[in-house]
Amino acid sequence: MNSLGGIRSWPANWRSTTALMTTTESVRKIPQVLTVAGSDSGAGAGIQADLKVCAARGVYCASVITAVTAQNTRGVQSVHLLPPEFVSEQLKSVLSDFDFDVVKTGMLPSTEIVEVLLQNLSDFPVRALVVDPVMVSTSGHVLAGSSILSIFRERLLPIADIITPNVKEASALLGGVRIETVSDMRSAAKLLHEMGPRFVLVKGGDLPDSSDSVDVYFDGKEFHELRSPRVATRNTHGTGCTLASCIAAELAKGSSMLSAVKVAKRFVDNALDYSKDIAIGSGMQGPFDHFFGLKKDPQSSRCSIFNPDDLFLYAVTDSRMNRKWNRSIVDAVKAAIEGGATIIQLREKEAETREFLEEAKACVDICRSHGVSLLINDRIDIALACNADGVHVGQSDMPVDLVRSLLGPDKIIGVSCKTPEQAHQAWKDGADYIGSGGVFPTNTKANNRTIGLDGLKEVCEASKLPVVAIGGIGISNADSVMQIDAPNLKGVAVVSALFDQDCVLTQAKKLHKTLKDSKREI
């Protein structure tokens, strides 16, 4: 938070105390969020959504209620504001007792209620503040009138770490500017950032005529467009509250802001998709199910999300080669990382499951200690069992949308694609990157059609996802691959060039240098 105390080290290395705390025998602190918001009797949005999201993400959530709404899937019938003094009693009660990592605000329906919130936050400083400036429900009902605009602009936004207005709210905060396109959203995010919040996310769920659902994130320097296919469903009641609470929950677990926002967006996508056909209530704004991922352990999720630049030097292991050179997978992986590999994939086609699992666990430990992500080829079961960072699948392996639903929103998924159509499908299905090739002929994969540099370029141009090139790439031709002039081509994946060699470390270093040099030339 900006002026109310708390820490100021966003975004680089902020970690909640919870994430850093070691557990002792008798005390285990779990991440804690406080939501200050309105009650929705239909339980799709407001306090009820916040509680469900935090529970689904493995985070404790306390709730201070600012208003009670009579609301269902048809709309808001009535709103009852709680007396500001009583909101203050609730705030004092929990803030003096709990050790919150993050405070998230939703419906703050009057200036007086914002005043008591500000007073309590200055009495009890918290580590981070997420402000969802709720003003109008998607059904069109006013939840906080224009009287709150000036205190929002002057006193609440400047102390927020992130604000998450939808397009109507962004427009209201900016005095009524028109926001009808993604470019308008970018301009709005920039202007809102000037009001003082450290990060801005303008949500595009309600943007007219867009087939993708696009949110615009601005950190004061760079914009990120977070884009996903729009889910065709009437069950979108509470998406905004869900997104902001999920951001708060991820921050409480120790995520950086951009990771938190990306995971939250994917959480909303997954929940909407999972619940698109459910029927609750008779109106046009149905709620959705936040617990689609109940089977998974949210606490075990990684703190940092996929960084496309990690595809730079992508090392893929091969058991035959390791046997030939008489080295273990673990030694091969260690040497590759020491030589500069930026991501590792274990590709074990013949290994016994038990043996593979043990090796994979050992590799996870090595990779974690070096901050390098580890993916498993094809074997979703092994990836889950060893808590790898993700998987890489081929076109005839398990479908990517199913892999995504099994692994949840925060694992990395890569998919091999030879054509623009496959690349588009990979994006639609929720992959994080594509591997494209074989670029050149290779002995590693027999009978594999090569696509050449032209084919690679065509796939890169069609792909909304970052691309890593694969197939017959080594020190002699890596430069020609990197020179194809595609901004989303992030690196090369290699097998023989590293592992069918006497010294993996030396080859990795050489290849890393080659890639660095060719990057400099581009």
Ligand X SMILES: Nc1ncnc2c1ncn2[C@@H]1O[C@H](COP(=O)(O)OP(=O)(O)OP(=O)(O)O)[C@@H](O)[C@H]1O
Ligand Y SMILES: Cc1ncc(CO)c(N)n1
List contacts with ligand X (CB under 6 A).
45, 137-138, 166, 203-206, 213, 215, 228, 230-231, 236-241, 243, 265, 268-269, 272
236 catalytic per annotation: yes
241 lines the binding site for ligand Y (CB under 6 A): yes
363 catalytic per annotation: no
213 lines the binding site for ligand Y (CB under 6 A): no
CA–CA distance, 428 with 231 (Å, rounded to integer): 11
Q: Where are the beta strands (DSSP E) in 338-397?
A: 343-346, 373-377, 390-393
Among 332, 329, 339, CA closest to 361: 329
Look at residue 203 and give the partner it binds from ligand Y, ligand X, Mg ion, none, a contact being a CB closer than 5 to 8 Å depending on partner kind.
Answer: ligand X
46 catalytic per annotation: no
CA–CA distance, 35 with 118 (Å, rounded to integer): 14
Q: Report the residue number, 105 or 425, with the smaller CB distance to ligand Y.
A: 105
* Stretch of 206-214, 222-230, 389-397, 473-481 lying at the interface with Mg ion (CB under 5 A): 206-214
Residue 140 CB burial class (10 angstroms; 0-12, 13-18, ≥19): exposed
Choose the catalytic residue: 18, 42, 138, 203: 203
Among 257, 245, 252, CA closest to 35: 245
Q: How far is the CB of 442 from ligand X (least distance, A)?
A: 39
Look at residue 269 and give the partner it binds from ligand Y, Mg ion, ligand X, none, a contact being a CB closer than 5 to 8 Å depending on partner kind.
Answer: ligand X
Choose the catalytic residue: 236, 242, 442, 514: 236
Is there a contact between 84 and 112 (Cβ–Cβ < 8 Å)? yes
Chain centroid offset of residue 169 CA: 23
Q: How far is the CB of 197 from ligand X (least distance, A)?
A: 16
491 lines the binding site for ligand Y (CB under 6 A): no
386 lines the binding site for ligand Y (CB under 6 A): no
Give the three-class secondary structure for 131: strand
377 lines the binding site for ligand Y (CB under 6 A): no
* Stretch of 35-43, 191-199, 296-304, 337-345 lying at the interface with ligand Y (CB under 6 A): 35-43
Q: How far is the CB of 148 from ligand Y (least distance, A)?
A: 14
137 lines the binding site for Mg ion (CB under 5 A): no
166 lines the binding site for ligand Y (CB under 6 A): no
- Compute how many residues bind ligand Y; rule: CB under 6 A: 16
Given 109, 240, 287, 437, the residue binding ligand Y (CB under 6 A): 240
First-to-last CA distance in the chain?
A: 40
Look at residue 231 and give the partner it binds from Mg ion, ligand X, ligand Y, none, a contact being a CB closer than 5 to 8 Å depending on partner kind.
Answer: ligand X
Is there a contact between 50 and 37 (Cβ–Cβ < 8 Å)? yes
205 lines the binding site for ligand Y (CB under 6 A): no
* Dihedral pair phi/psi, residue 376, rounded to 5°: -115, 135
CA–CA distance, 94 with 107 (Å, rounded to integer): 18
Helices (H), 222-256: 239-253
Greatest Cα pair distance, the chain, in angstroms, is 76
Look at residue 40 and give the partner it binds from ligand X, ligand Y, Mg ion, none, a contact being a CB closer than 5 to 8 Å depending on partner kind.
Answer: ligand Y
Chain centroid offset of residue 157 CA: 23
Q: Report the residue number, 310 or 432, with the smaller CB distance to ligand X.
A: 432
* Stretch of 32-40, 211-219, 258-266, 336-344 lying at the interface with ligand Y (CB under 6 A): 32-40
Q: Report the residue number, 74 or 178, with the smaller CB distance to ligand Y.
A: 74
516 catalytic per annotation: no
145 catalytic per annotation: no
Given 36, 61, 134, 367, the residue binding ligand Y (CB under 6 A): 134
Choose the catalytic residue: 204, 240, 286, 455: 240
242 catalytic per annotation: no
Look at residue 215 and give the partner it binds from ligand Y, ligand X, Mg ion, none, a contact being a CB closer than 5 to 8 Å depending on partner kind.
Answer: ligand X
Q: In what order do the strands lie in the sheet with 129-131?
A: 76-81, 60-71, 32-40, 102-105, 129-131, 162-163, 199-202, 212-218, 223-229
If DSSP states are collapsed to H, E and C, what string results for 60-82?
EEEEEEEEEEEECCCCEEEEEEC
Annotated catalytic sites, by residue?
A: 203, 236, 238-241
